[in-house]
Structure 1
């Protein structure tokens, strides 16, 4: 039996302004023994959180003030690496990012705040501690970005620091913020907890177990992550037993006296942060769990987004209060979305001004209305439509869904969007970075399965490359495969299928050199052949037009900006039809029905837009100059 090598799990950090006579940052190492094999794993689990939390509690058993530490697994950083300060929630341990450390550590210099179990620092004391660190690091490196990731209590600290320092460029990511404390179950539990004798922990453990979210869902997530489509009772029972074993550790993290203190701290934090919301100027993203049993987080996300100009809410419907400890949550991607929103905000605004997209949807009674009120808010939902030239419609469609309905459309995209050959043959397709960052994934059966199982809103274009890279005179012509490849997958999960059409490409651009033209020119022909060999080929077993996946780029010339129109038909229910649609003929009938509905949507829009007095850009600009550039420009009556 080989001896395990002592490995450092974190380095404690002390900002120069927090300790007298320490001009430079000092470091103290805490040591825990575990094997090298364990440390080289592919990421940590909820079990790691509790194991390391126990170690940290023991190391700070003497109390002492709150302190910063950096997980060693995050690696070393340059002086210019952006700084990420993690502010913990009610647990105070500071390990809430443990499942994110490895990926975040490749980008950020991470400092995590640890509040010892016996510490009784007031809320304003915590705010001043974080504020002094932010100011110190900002003065030391003025151009260094500073991110504050605050969870529950930590979110209130982040808001308070931002309100007190509007001159510092901060980015806030708030996770289930405790600004909604007055509506939480903790607010009403104070009298009950005060009656519990110090030695009785059963009821307290039950209360604390809410922190971990839905145990059954977490167990199912762990099984699904193993890519087993038929989880066994043994797999589930082992995960549930492991989760139940964490309860004694929760009681150690928050013994009765500490829990009562933290609840009072939350009360003070909520009042303080809410009284200063008007002073917060920082850009922020609020992550809201749909099954948060401690706070009404989704409702709070909507309130904050209305109260704060630069606040973007993001909902995670199937997750609990400790969102960042659950499967399926990737903070790196979330931060990329935030950065993309910031970079693309001006561009998106101008795209909306120039194209003034018209969104129409169909209510359950068949009435067509302007807006997305006819779109199901709960997934899984599969949107199936026509792919405009170069996918231009997607660049408008995805932002509109996020702005109007706070729905993230997860696109199924061609693999070429994720791949660039070493020879540089394929362009990097940078205009589509937003789509990739916002959740688009390579089109495949397994990815469609995963998105459907996670109850996502999924965007699918059966016509694929052949439709998006069409030729002259093929505007709004569908190129769908013969097989009903997506119908039975949607039926498996009881998804609603929403057929839709989008028109406007012919008012934005005109193709001057298409595939047929390029194949007649040797230079372009050789380029097409090279790109086609390099790129992944889909539907190789399919015949007909849709099987022609030759990769090329049509050459369009822009027109005076026209207008985009989207029409979403009545959602088609598949719930309860699983047995019926196992029959290939029945599934194909539904497939043809969906295709027909998409064609009807296109025909409807092409006809109705002729009656739109604001189809051309000049009338739209005059209207916007009169009513404001953020106003909704009128259109035809549906």
Structure 2
């Protein structure tokens, strides 16, 4: 058993021996220390690391395919599900090298390595993976097994799922090679077989497809908060290094191996397409818009409609080797699409994984939100010092247009106090529409990453039981989709049920106001305008009927839950202001607040506090010299990007 390239190799043919012994092979202290140093939180590997580690991996490359577990993935929790990575045509097994650290916190990761000279057939690879899956099911029968495959590996995952419908599998497929018959790769195969000189041209074609879109890489790096100098430096290193690694790619895919792998892709595509009807596993399809090897965008749509439990996410500017590109975070994609679970069924409350530093929205730096809170003695302070650390705590407030205050708010709680704020969100954000499509745009995935939970009495009870910090908007969709001239107007239902539930658990209630939506845009077409336009009216009705109403028993304004998206004209960005009032205690008031009258009095008190907080902020922001984004950018240019920007005097 040998340790190499930061990966622990299991002896050839020993994959049967994984259970019941521990899932990892110990490495030397020196090697472990080296990788601990390389993987400080926030650092990420890249193409250079993929090639450098691949060089070492293929030096001693005899024997059949085998599993290895990267050392960077040793910090997972005890109940982490198993993730099996199935590589593409390279076969090295390092395709997730950029994601080992983040995935390793939530999964037990095994990667499949297929040696360069190995000639195991597609059927043989299916049997190998299937045997491992069956073995692990016996070891952990109540946990799902994740199969993450790219290209060829995606075909293996689909084949295993089709042959094992009784096993709880979750498939993550990146640019599946099921489209081989429609790809340019099919034309490369006969040329390689008759024109040997075409080999290096083919490898250069593969190599060029690993870089993705340059503009997308630049914007992705900048959004993560790196300086322009760091961005240019990193891109230059990759651009200079890539041609130098043509020889490494030649070692990974010599001519005979490349021909073998292309022939296998042809076989795999035919086999899987004939068995798609048998795939019942939950499947997340990741499709690149600039895949030069396969028509992945079109194929993703086809698979999405063919698989009964499929979801799709599109990376429009990414190339074939999706997992090696900047701006792609697999752990975030899995969490954001609600595909991460530890048991047979998803529990949005207990399966949630707290934010990682890499998931902070760096636009937070541009927005520079102002947060004020109130201490127990009534003193107003900047920051969140007045928020109780011990839960349960209900953060109750006003919902701005389209909920644009949400992400900065959740970020501030985590950045300032390391508090995970769990938001209660409308079920429309969690359910499929009639055609099976989830709302799959970036903002909706962020709800999953930032801890959103569907509004329900059961979930509310669970969060209170876990002593969570819960973000609650009584005005719900009606406030978030309000009409022209209704900004900062509260639309609350008549019922005050959350008060009595809070008292049952002795939760503290923190009312808060927020302003700033009018600094970001003006509504052009609201619900009243859209409902008068026939085609827009039909869209609203179809969308509402597909999702369903949440408050069917509620009367008045709040009962109008027709789902639409207000059209607005963006402005030069202003600033968000949050003001959290003094916490209201319900501890010891359980009996008192069982009385509906008393509960309603407290309900109105919370509502009144929020209105006062909003009025306070609207007045105070007029005296903020840094309300405009231009003034804030000038301040950051002079004092540093991460410097705290001043505001009005409290």
- Bin of the TM-score, shorter chain as denominator length: 0.5 to 0.7
Query: What is the distance in 1 between the residues matched to 2:447 and 2:23?
Result: 43
Query: What is the distance in 2 between the residues matched to 1:284 and 1:313?
Result: 8
TM superposition shift of 1:315: 0.4
Determine the structure 1 residue equivalent to 2:50: 49
CA contact (8 A) 1:75 1:106 kept: yes
SS for the counterpart of 1:167 is coil
Q: 1:163 and 2:158 equivalent?
A: no
Query: What is the distance in 1 between the residues matched to 2:449 and 2:515?
Result: 11
Q: 1:333 and 2:352 equivalent?
A: no
TM superposition shift of 1:59: 2.2
Query: What is the distance in 2 between the residues matched to 1:78 and 1:467?
Result: 35
CA contact (8 A) 2:45 2:98 kept: yes
Determine the structure 1 residue equivalent to 2:554: 559
SS for the counterpart of 1:413 is helix
Determine the structure 1 residue equivalent to 2:202: 204
Determine the structure 1 residue equivalent to 2:541: none
CA contact (8 A) 1:50 1:246 kept: yes
TM superposition shift of 1:282: 0.7
Specify whether residues 266 and 425 from structure 1 end up closer, same or farther in structure 2 by C-alpha distance, changes over 3 A only.
closer
Specify whether residues 53 and 258 from structure 1 end up closer, same or farther in structure 2 by C-alpha distance, changes over 3 A only.
same
TM superposition shift of 1:25: 7.6
Deviation string 1:150-190 (CA, Å, 9 cap, x unpaired) is: 11101111111111111111111111001111111101111
1:116-135 matches, within 5 Å, as 116-135=115-134
SS for the counterpart of 1:271 is helix
Specify whether residues 167 and 393 from structure 1 end up closer, same or farther in structure 2 by C-alpha distance, changes over 3 A only.
farther
Specify whether residues 248 and 232 from structure 1 end up closer, same or farther in structure 2 by C-alpha distance, changes over 3 A only.
same
The structure 2 residue matched to 1:10, chosen from 7, 20, 24, is: 7
Specify whether residues 411 and 283 from structure 1 end up closer, same or farther in structure 2 by C-alpha distance, changes over 3 A only.
farther
Deviation string 1:108-131 (CA, Å, 9 cap, x unpaired) is: 111100000111110000000000
Query: What is the distance in 2 between the residues matched to 1:70 and 1:312?
Result: 28
1:177-256 matches, within 5 Å, as 177-197=176-196, 202-214=200-212, 216-217=214-215, 220=218, 224=222, 225=224, 227-228=226-227, 236-256=235-255
SS for the counterpart of 2:338 is helix
Query: What is the distance in 1 between the residues matched to 2:22 and 2:233?
Result: 50
Q: 1:81 and 2:80 equivalent?
A: yes
Unaligned ranges ≥5, structure 2 = 349-396, 431-442, 451-471, 499-506, 520-550, 575-650
SS for the counterpart of 1:86 is strand
Determine the structure 2 residue equivalent to 1:257: 256
Specify whether residues 252 and 8 from structure 1 end up closer, same or farther in structure 2 by C-alpha distance, changes over 3 A only.
closer
TM superposition shift of 1:210: 3.9
Deviation string 1:285-318 (CA, Å, 9 cap, x unpaired) is: 0000011111111111111111111011110101
TM-score by length of 1: 0.58
TM superposition shift of 1:43: 2.6
Query: What is the distance in 2 between the residues matched to 1:318 and 1:425?
Result: 34
CA contact (8 A) 2:337 2:445 kept: no
Determine the structure 1 residue equivalent to 2:147: 148
CA contact (8 A) 1:98 1:325 kept: yes
Determine the structure 1 residue equivalent to 2:64: 65
Specify whether residues 27 and 141 from structure 1 end up closer, same or farther in structure 2 by C-alpha distance, changes over 3 A only.
closer
Specify whether residues 346 and 426 from structure 1 end up closer, same or farther in structure 2 by C-alpha distance, changes over 3 A only.
closer
SS for the counterpart of 2:148 is strand
TM superposition shift of 1:145: 1.8
The structure 2 residue matched to 1:429, chosen from 413, 416, 423, is: 423
Unaligned ranges ≥5, structure 1 = 1-5, 349-388, 396-409, 444-464, 482-502, 515-525, 543-555, 575-580, 585-638
TM superposition shift of 1:509: 3.4
Specify whether residues 14 and 78 from structure 1 end up closer, same or farther in structure 2 by C-alpha distance, changes over 3 A only.
farther
Query: What is the distance in 1 between the residues matched to 2:235 and 2:14?
Result: 49
Question: How many residues are matched?
Answer: 445
Determine the structure 2 residue equivalent to 1:172: 171
Specify whether residues 85 and 232 from structure 1 end up closer, same or farther in structure 2 by C-alpha distance, changes over 3 A only.
closer
CA contact (8 A) 1:412 1:441 kept: no
Deviation string 1:252-280 (CA, Å, 9 cap, x unpaired) is: 21111111110000000011111111111
SS for the counterpart of 1:270 is helix
Query: What is the distance in 1 between the residues matched to 2:77 and 2:566?
Result: 53
